[in-house]
Each structure stands twice: as structure tokens, then as C-alpha cells.
Amino acid sequence: MTVTYVIDGSEVTGLDRFWDVIGEAVNGPGGYFGRNLDAFADCLRGGMGTPDDDDFVIEWRGHALSARALGHEETARHLRDLSGRAHASNLPRLRQELARAEAGLGPTLFDRLLEIIRDETAPGTLRLL
């Protein structure tokens, strides 16, 4: 039996809120399902609430609202935050990504989340509604 996890795009107002929404969708109130991109990818690989047999669907309703909330402005905010605690060897890349995000260019956090879901789950797992 396929399990469906629903993300309500109207509730995603930024990256921090996305972590709350996906955590609750998968693991109930107060649930955890990653608090950064790497942890999110790890959770999607299994063992953190999703069925072990990969028989699940992520249904992202109102995804266009999330795409706006997780757009270039939020991406730039996230990259500024990362820059403050990144290893010196990562700073040039982060600064370049930040400049692009501030100019409204390059992939957004929404794009990155979709990429992670598609990379870490079976084809057809993600449904954008």
C-alpha cells in the first residue's frame, strides 16, 4: 500500500518552515525529517519515517507558493547564513552562489529540494500539484 505524504505549499514560508512542514508530514506533529539539505537527502534514503520499501509518494500541493517562498531571496538568505560558518575553502564558491542568487540567477532552494527528492527517491515519488 502506497503511503502519501502531503506538503501544503501555503505553509512553506521559508526554508526553516519547510523543515517543520516536511517533518510533520512524514513523522507527525513535531516530527523530524532533516534540518539541512544533506540531512534531508539522508532521510529520503530511508529509515527516518518513510516506508522501507520506498512505497511512498510526496504530494506537494500548492508548490508554486513554495517556489516563491523558497526563491532567490530565501536562497540568498540561506547562503549568507552558511557563509558565516563555512570552512574557508568553501567561501569562494558560496560567495559566487550568493552573488548569483542576489542577482536573481541560478538554482533556488526550491529547485535544490526538488533535485534532492528526485535523486534520492524512486521515479514518480514526487507529485507537484
Q: Report the pLDDT value the prediction gives residue 52, as an integer from 0 to 100.
A: 67
Q: Which domains does the chain have, with CATH numbers?
A: 1-71+108-129 (3.30.370.10), 72-107 (no CATH)
Q: Report the pLDDT value the prediction gives residue 2, as an integer from 0 to 100.
A: 87
Query: Is the full-model pTM beyond 0.75?
Result: yes
Q: Report the pLDDT value the prediction gives residue 119, as an integer from 0 to 100.
A: 95
pLDDT band at 1 (very low <50, low <70, confident <90, very high): confident
Residue 127 has pLDDT above 90, yes or no: yes
pLDDT digits (tens, 9 = 90+) for 31-63: 999 999 999 999 998 766 676 666 889 999 999
Q: Report the pLDDT value the prediction gives residue 17, as an integer from 0 to 100.
A: 98
3-state secondary structure the chain: CCEEEEEEHHHCCCHHHHHHHHHHHHHCCCCCCCCCHHHHHHHHCCCCCCCCCCCEEEEEECHHHHHHHCCHHHHHHHHHHHHCCCCHHHHHHHHHHHHHHHCCCCCCHHHHHHHHHHHHCCCCCEEEC
